[in-house]
Every structure is written in structure tokens, then in C-alpha cells.
Chain A
């Protein structure tokens, strides 16, 4: 019997093209020590990225700079600087509409300056990736860790994934392109990581070899015709929709927006596969004290679980890997035995607590405690989380 040989293909940088499953799950990995920003570079290096536009803002400036280095080295097709965050996000849309796999990064106030673009990205069904290194939104101006800006992004029609550490971030960036580019999904993905705590600190990270990469993006599988000045239908089917919006039914606008939300729903099975699940549980399965958290707050909650176990108190962490889509079924299952649910957050508004309450309403009798909340650059020591639990349980009146 004649063996069928699969032709080996290479991308523009000369990297061997492999399947997302091989790159994420099967390729041998070696240990490295690097910052979150460097992890972004390593992920982009293996993602056959066509274009990146940057407007460096603290703390994502180093990540943007490192993507620029990849362009110099030939791993990224096009790289340039926008004149503002708004300009960057608009230019990102242009690149993606022309069929390029595109990534950029932003933080805090830059996110808000670019805000109008995010629902536009989703509505035009472009699968771009935004790495959001969360930073405070405040006056007086803060350039410290805080994830308030995530609350502004929740209803833009973008998928929102939240990485706990550099390893998560590396894997999520590769998985992000893969899921966002599925024809049935094809909406932007925002991969969030806590600025400074992850972007600027070094940690051990397992990486696959850098001579392999994702297959290139195929824009002709897009749910809308790709802009192509030569080939119909792209040549004449993508003129500015808004210019004629008075001549379409209001139902179209409604249906269009529902369709974007449907696309996020369709991402669930793909995200479950490429992220291995939408949530991660840590600690005692039988525990009736549950921390629901994402990002660095989940890491600190894990440490609190260890400290509580030393006090003879069982607890567990439910880490949410995706916020949009929100993993409501998984969360409801994970908190079935909970009597107390704590939602530790790095912001003052408690947007995650609101989400948790919304999705558990009618499904859980547990007392939901939206605390501790720290912001503006404050750290969240595990001891503070433990104190919150002990005072809520009235184990002690004063914790020193």
C-alpha cells in the first residue's frame, strides 16, 4: 500500500506550518523564563501574523515594541505605528478587512480612546486579536494595575478571554486566532492580562519550538466577502453600510447585533477545545467556600486556598478563562455545593461580581460576597482574601 505523504508547507518566515492542535497540545515544549510581554512576542512569532499596528502605551509598550522586532526579523508581514489608539484600532480594521491576520495591544485609557472601534470590529466580523494589558482608568492618571476597562468592553461584541499568567497568555493568543477565525465565529478576541503583574514580571513558561507556526489565515472563509479590489463580490459588496443605513429596516440593525452575539455563542465549543475548558477549578471539590475570579485575582485566590487549608478550612477557586462567552453552565455546576462565593477583583466597580450574580440568579442560594476589591495599583495579598473569608464566616471578630 502506498503511503500518502502530506506536503510540508512553510510560511513567509520559513516556519513549518502545523495544525493548531499540534502547536498547542502535541509539540514538545521547553522551559523558558520570561515576562508576559515577551510571552506575547513568542506567541505572535508562532502565529503567522500578517499585520500589527501599535501605539505604545504603558504597560503594553514593551509588547508592542517586541512585535516590531518580529517584523524586522521577518515574522510579521506589516508593522507600523498609528497616530493614536483610535487610529491604531481603525487601521487594524483596515488590515483585517483586506484579509490579514492582525494583532495589536492596548491598555487602560488607550482602550477607551479607541472605544468606538470595538463594536465596529465585531459588526464587520473581523477576527482580529487585541491583547489588553489591563491598567487603571482614573483621574488622577494611574499607570498601575487595575482592570476597570474590561467592564467597558463586555458588550462590544468581542470575545473576551482572561489570562492568569504568561503561560495562559501565550496559549490564549494562539488559541485566540484559531477560534476567532472559525467561519461561524469570526468576531474579534480580546485577550486580557493584568498589566505589570504579568506583563512585567518573569516566570517559567513552556514553549513549543519557534520553527513551527499556525496555518495562515484564509480570508475567503470569512462570513462576509473579503475586500478584494479585483475579484467580485468583494469589489462591490462592502461599501460603507452606514451610508445607507436610513434605507434599511430597523430589523436589520437588530438582527445584525443579534448575529454578533450568536457568533460569540458559537465560539463556545471551539474555545472549550482550544482552552481545554472555559473554567479551571483549584482546591477541594467538596468545599462550600468558592472564589470566582479571573486573572491575577485567581492566582491570589489559589494562594488563599492554601492558607485557609492550613486553618482547616476547605475552599476552592473557579477561574474563569472566558468572560465572553460567559461560562454560565460550567460556573453553575462548579458552585453547586457553595454556601459562600467570594469574588476578588482588581477594580472598584465589581464588574465580575455583577456578572457572577447575573448568571447565578435563580441557580444558587450561596451568599455572594463582592470582596476584596483592590484598585489603582494596589496588590491583593492572599492574607487579605483569607481575612475576608474569616470575617464573613465570623470565625474571628478581628483578624490581625
Chain B
């Protein structure tokens, strides 16, 4: 994406309007720039460690133990939260809820801005969210909030996030945690 939100009234797509597409394997997106994954990981850690109320939003692919990889990643998410001094708010269900979600304890892809506003979240990580719902939510967050969004995707990535890390399996998440520990030590936070 090109800039931090709030970007405007409609949740515009950067792929459609800016022709910005997901990076190739081994690379990452930092705003609208393609950078090596290592640099993006450092910037992601820095954003989470320096902005207010950093929060990790784990999705169903991490929350439900339907594979060994999911279980491993779930444990890593908890470790990541500890290293980044971050809260965890789950996106456990994609269905819209009646009459509304409780933004203090959950995030829903259909109105993710409610959770961001309620908790005054200025940086967040999406992990384990199915790509379509992550993309729907990331566009709304960029349109309506000033939250710095980071997508850790196990597939091709999410160009609507401010930082996109693609092909993030447990091995890469472990590496990110190590990078975060280094950045934390450098910042002294």
C-alpha cells in the first residue's frame, strides 16, 4: 500500500488503483516498495514495538488445531505476543454477528474498524486469517483507521497491508520472533 490510513471513505484496493501486487517469493512489501524479507521483518517488529496498543489478530488457521502446523503456529503466536508486548484479539469467526461483536475481545472481518477504534490499536499483525477475509478487513482498516497493518500470510501475501510478509510458515514465524528480539534489544523497550 502507499500510505497509512485513514485513506478515505471507500475501502479502495491498491491492486486495482495502484497496480501494486504481491511480491515474489523471498521478498516482502513495505508500503509500496518491494524489499528483502529481513528488512520487512525488522520494520514490522519496530512498528509493533513503538506504536500504541500493538495487537495480534490470529485467525482460524491458527486458532483451530486442524493440523500440526496450526498447533505449532498457535504456540508461536503466543511467544510473538510476549516478545512484542502485544495483546492477542482473535478473529475466530468470519460470520457477521447480531447485533454486534464485542470489540474488546474479538475482531470480525466485516467491521474490523470497531475493534481497532475501541482498543485504540495503532499497529497490528494478521496471522492465520484466510486470504479473502484478511483482504476484506485490511482494506476497511486502511480506509477508516490510522492503524499500521502487518500481514503474515502463509500464501502469497496481502498488498493492502502496510507490510506484507508472504510464505510465512512456522519456520519463518520463528525467524520473525528472533528478529523481533533483536529489534527489541536495540530499542531498549
Q: Which residues from chain A sit less than 8 Å from chain B, CB to CB?
A: 125, 182-184, 186, 221-225, 231-233, 236-237, 239, 241, 244-245, 247-249, 251-252, 254-256, 258-259, 261-262, 265-266, 268-269
- Once the chains are docked, how many angstroms separate the CA of A182 from the CA of B131? 12
- CB pair A268–B96 under 8 Å, yes or no, is no
B-side contacts of A241, CB under 8 Å = 95-96
Residue of B nearest to A233 (CB): B60
A249–B111 touching, CB < 8 Å: yes
User: Which of B96, B136, B155 makes the CB contact (< 8 A) with A183?
Assistant: B155
Given A183-B156, A224-B133, A259-B132, answer yes or no on A265-B19 (Cβ-Cβ < 8 Å). Answer: yes
Interface contact A223-B130, CB-CB below 8 Å: yes
- A231, A245, A248 — most chain B CB neighbours (10 Å): A248
Chain B residues with CB under 8 Å of A221's CB are 155
* Residues in A whose Cβ lies below 8 Å from that of B37: none
Determine the distance from Cα of A182 to Cα of B139 in the docked complex, in whole angstroms: 21
Q: Which residues in B have some Cβ–Cβ distance to A below 8 Å?
A: 10-16, 19, 21-22, 60-61, 64, 66, 93-100, 109-111, 113, 130-133, 135-137, 139-140, 143-144, 155-157, 159-160
Given contacts A232-B66, A255-B139, 11 further A-B contacts (CB under 8 A): A183-B155, A184-B131, A223-B133, A225-B130, A245-B96, A251-B10, A251-B111, A251-B113, A252-B110, A252-B136, A258-B13
Point out the residue from A222, A225, A248, A265 that lies within 8 Å of B96, measured CB to CB: A248
A325 CA to B10 CA, complexed, in Å: 22
Find chain B residues with CB under 8 A from A125 CB: 132
Residue of B nearest to A265 (CB): B15
Most buried by B among A225, A233, A255, A258: A255
In the complex, the answer to whether B144 meets A251 with C-beta atoms within 8 Å is: yes
B69 to chain A, nearest CB (A): 11
Please measure, in the bound complex, the distance between the C-alpha atom of A224 and the C-alpha atom of B132, giving whole angstroms: 6
B15 and A262 within 8 A (CB): yes
CB pair B95–A237 under 8 Å, yes or no, is yes
Q: In the complex, are the beta carbons of B136 and A255 less than 8 A apart?
A: yes
- How far, in Å, is B100 (CB) from chain A's closest CB? 8
CB distance from A327 to the nearest CB of B (A): 12
* Cβ contact within 8 Å between A254 and B64: no
Residues of A contacting B: mostly: helix
User: Are the CB atoms of A258 and B132 closer together than 8 Å?
Assistant: no
Alpha-carbon distance A59/B140, docked complex (angstroms): 44
Task: Decide: A237 and B13 in contact? CB cutoff 8 A.
Answer: no
- Residue of chain B at shortest CB distance from A183: B155
Q: How far apart are the CA atoms of A248 and B95 in the complex, in Å?
A: 9
> Which residues from A are CB-within-8-Å of B113?
249, 251
In the bound complex, how far is the Cα of B131 from the Cα of A222, in angstroms? 8
Task: Decide: A252 and B140 in contact? CB cutoff 8 A.
Answer: yes
25 contacts between A and B (CB under 8 A): A125-B132, A183-B156, A222-B130, A223-B132, A223-B135, A224-B130, A224-B132, A224-B133, A225-B130, A233-B60, A233-B94, A237-B95, A241-B96, A245-B96, A251-B140, A252-B111, A255-B139, A258-B11, A259-B132, A261-B15, A262-B15, A265-B16, A265-B19, A266-B21, A266-B156
Q: CB distance B139 to A258 under 8 Å? A: yes
B65 nearest in chain A by CB position: A232
Nearest Cβ distance between residue A119 and chain B, in whole angstroms? 15
Is B131 in contact with A268, judged by CB distance below 8 angstroms?
no
Q: Are B98 and A247 in contact (CB under 8 A)?
A: yes
Please tell me if the beta carbons of A262 and B60 are within 8 angstroms of each other in the complex: no
- Determine if B136 and A244 form an interchain contact, defined as CB atoms under 8 angstroms apart: no
CB distance from A246 to the nearest CB of B (A): 9
B162 CB → nearest A CB, Å = 16
Partner of B64, one of A183, A232, A251: A232
Known: A252-B136, A265-B21, A269-B21. A225 touches B110 (CB 8 A): no
Which among A249, A258, A265, A266 has the highest number of chain B CB atoms within 10 Å? A258
Query: Which residue from A186, A237, A249 sits with its C-beta under 8 Å from B94?
Result: A237
B60 A251 Cβ-Cβ under 8 A: no
Nearest chain A CB to B75's CB is how many angstroms away?
19
The interface residues of chain A lying within 8 Å CB-to-CB of B140 are 249, 251-252, 255
Which among A182, A237, A269 has the greatest number of chain B C-beta atoms within 10 A?
Answer: A237
- Name the distance in Å between A325's Cβ and chain B's nearest Cβ: 10
Given contacts A221-B155, A223-B132, A262-B135, contact A254 B11 (CB under 8 A): yes
> Quick one: which of B21, B136, B157 contacts A259, CB cutoff 8 A?
B136
Contact residues in A for B96 (Cβ distance below 8 Å)? 241, 244-245, 247-248, 252
Cβ contact of A261, chosen from B16, B130, B132, cutoff 8 A:
B16
